[in-house]
Amino acid sequence: DTAVSQTPKYLVTQMGNDKSIKCEQNLGHDTMYWYKQDSKKFLKIMFSYNNKELIINETVPNRFSPKSPDKAHLNLHINSLELGDSAVYFCASSHVYGGSYEQYFGPGTRLTVT
Amino acid sequence: GENVEQHPSTLSVQEGDSAVIKCTYSDSASNYFPWYKQELGKGPQLIIDIRSNVGEKKDQRIAVTLNKTAKHFSLHITETQPEDSAVYFCAASIRGKSTFGDGTTLTVKP
């Protein structure tokens, strides 16, 4: 009965590879997010989707491409991975248009680029 | 865009003492201010939040205060316990977009 789930939990890959992280929420929320948390624990928003539409796109390299096949899923694809992409990536969801802004976070995906 | 500053970056207290973490924000349009607790190896979890039409909110040992005029808000934890040790994040939100502070690592010493 996990609310927000992410796969994989750990991802180790080499520079130049392409990888994807998947996220699913079973809360019926209308909005989903991707955050990046670096080694200093700083949490920065990357993207937000509402009902499959991109509504927030922060200054993120275009090697990062989010995809939302339906409002319960938001995947993150990363092309040509670089060392600086190593971080923990969190997916989150909320019911923004229902007036509740509380965000529920997934357990995170620790990406290590070697 | 919104800018959120959080202080202190680290805080160490004795069990039973109180802990206070402060945040300031820049965008007066922000109307929702959540606080998240992140334990090691887990995602952030909401512990308390406050909306811009409220000045104070309390939930057992934790409370949050908001001063809209000064654009600052604070988290207060009373009677701290070792299990309160974690990283705490404040955030300022507008229309569902949250800008997070840089986090405070709280250590409660038994």
What pLDDT, on the 0 to 100 scale, is given for residue A52? 80
| Dihedral angle computed from the Cα positions of residues A81, A39, A75 and B2, in that order, rounded to the nearest 10 degrees | -110
**pLDDT-based confidence at residue A21 (cuts at 50, 70, 90):** very high
Q: What CA–CA distance (Å, rounded) separates B1 from A7?
A: 31
**B18: exposed, middle or buried (C-beta count within 10 Å: 0-12, 13-18, 19+)?**
exposed
Average pLDDT over all residues of chain A = 92
Using the Cβ of A66 and the Cβ atoms of chain B, whether some distance falls under 8 Å is answered with: no
Q: What CA–CA distance (Å, rounded) separates A43 from B50?
A: 20
Short-list B101, B74, B104, CA closest to B3? B101
Owner of token pair 């680029």? A113
Looking at per-residue confidence, does B15 or A1 come out higher? B15
Q: What is the pLDDT of residues A39-94, one digit of tens each?
A: 999 999 999 998 888 888 887 899 999 999 998 999 999 999 999 999 999 999 99
Cβ atoms B101, B6 nearer than 8 A: yes
Alpha helices in B50-96 (DSSP H): none
In chain A, the largest separation of any two C-alpha atoms, in whole Å, equals 42
Give the residue from chain A lying closest to B47, CA to CA: A102
| Mutate which: A21, A43, A88, vs B, most B CBs within 10 A | A43
A102/B34 touch (CB, cutoff 8 Å), yes or no = yes
| Dihedral angle computed from the Cα positions of residues A24, B2, B37 and A28, in that order, rounded to the nearest 10 degrees | -30
Lowest mean pLDDT, pick from A71-80, A96-105, B48-57:
A96-105
Q: Which of B32, B34, B89 sits opposite A43 (nearest CB)?
A: B89
A48/B102 touch (CB, cutoff 8 Å), yes or no = no
Compute CA B47 distance to the chain's CA centroid, rounded to the nearest angstrom.
9
Cβ atoms B101, B7 nearer than 8 A: no
B98/A101 touch (CB, cutoff 8 Å), yes or no = yes
What pLDDT, on the 0 to 100 scale, is given for residue A51? 81
**pLDDT-based confidence at residue A100 (cuts at 50, 70, 90):** low
| Mutate which: A101, A102, A109, A110, vs B, most B CBs within 10 A | A101
Contacts for B48 with CB less than 8 Å, ≥ 6 apart:
B34, B35, B57, B59, B62, B63, B64, B75
Count of other CB atoms within 10 angstroms of residue A24: 19
